[in-house]
């Protein structure tokens, strides 16, 4: 992965088409290396989460070229690579497992990251996730604490408990969440380690219970639409 990170670092310093065209071979090598890891990661996660079996690389990875239509930043290329493994693929709006590589001086996510869950679900899905905490709070909290190497994202949580949810519930703080996400950062030593793949699979395995419960809530919301 050293080669992948070095390429991303160089893109961050030379984010323009002439440089990229001159280094297309380096891009293809970095992308192929990352894709090979991503394919093996999909297989590794499918070994404990059957809901993602059969997914391919195109189902879970993203274009390296940025969409410039609605942004003032006209830099043509991303400075990160990521793979999101969820039932139905990256566009299914389900909870899943996300692995992200990014040079530390960039500001997309601020560095390397692993996440599990559903980022900013729509209003009906979020309501269903909050109801899951209300009706099944003990198991939900257990699924969070069992992911011992991750932390629950609470950024941008509501200040007040949303209407329709009890203020005296022991799980009331979870009703304020606007996203259902477990995260952990990692450093270059982790990224460059020879056992990166098995370590990543084992870490994501900690989140299986959480992802299963979040997807149950999302599926319920989708059925109600």
Query: Each residue of 69-104: pLDDT tens digit?
Result: 878 888 899 999 999 999 999 999 899 999 999 998
What is the band of 49 on the pLDDT scale with cuts at 50, 70, 90?
very high
DSSP secondary structure letters along the chain: -HHHHHHHHHHHH--SHHHHHHTHHHHHHHHHHHHHHHHHHHHHHHTT-GGGTT--HHHHB--SB---TT-S----B-S-EEEEE-TT-TTS---EEEEEE--TT-SSSSS-EEEEEESS--HHHHHHHHHHHHHSHHHHHHHHHT-TT-EE--TT--SSPPTTS-TT-TTHHHHT-S-EEEEEE--HHHHH-TTHHHHHHHHHHTTHHHHHHHHHHHHHHHHH-
The verdict on pTM exceeding 0.85 is yes
In this prediction, residues 151-158 reach a mean pLDDT of 92
State residue 225's pLDDT score: 58
Q: Which domain holds residue 13?
A: 2-224
Given this model, what pLDDT does residue 108 score?
Answer: 76
CATH code (residue 186): 3.30.930
Count of domains observed in the chain: 1
Q: What is the pLDDT of residue 110?
A: 81
pLDDT band at 194 (very low <50, low <70, confident <90, very high): very high
């Amino acid at each position: 992965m050293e080669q992948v990170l070095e390429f991303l670092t160089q893109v961050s310093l030379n984010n323009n088409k002439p440089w990229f065209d001159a280094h297309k071979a380096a891009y293809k090598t970095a992308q192929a290396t990352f894709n090979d890891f991503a394919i093996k990661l999909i297989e590794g996660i499918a070994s404990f989460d059957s809901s993602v079996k059969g997914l391919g690389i195109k189902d879970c990875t993203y274009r390296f070229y940025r969409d410039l239509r609605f942004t003032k930043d006209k830099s043509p290329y991303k400075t990160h690579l990521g793979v999101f493994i969820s039932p139905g693929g990256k566009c299914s709006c389900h909870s899943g497992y996300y692995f992200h590589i990014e040079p530390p001086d960039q500001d997309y996510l601020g560095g390397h990251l692993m996440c599990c869950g559903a980022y900013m679900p729509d209003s009906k899905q979020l309501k269903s996730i909050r109801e899951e905490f209300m009706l099944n709070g003990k198991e939900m909290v257990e699924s969070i604490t069992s992911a011992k190497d991750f932390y629950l994202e609470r950024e941008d949580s509501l200040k007040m408990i949303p209407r329709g949810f009890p203020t005296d519930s022991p799980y009331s703080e979870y009703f304020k969440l606007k996203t259902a996400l477990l995260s952990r950062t990692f450093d270059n030593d982790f990224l460059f380690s020879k056992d990166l793949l098995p370590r990543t699979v084992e870490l994501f395995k900690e989140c299986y219970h959480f992802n299963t419960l979040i997807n149950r809530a999302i599926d319920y919301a989708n059925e109600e639409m």
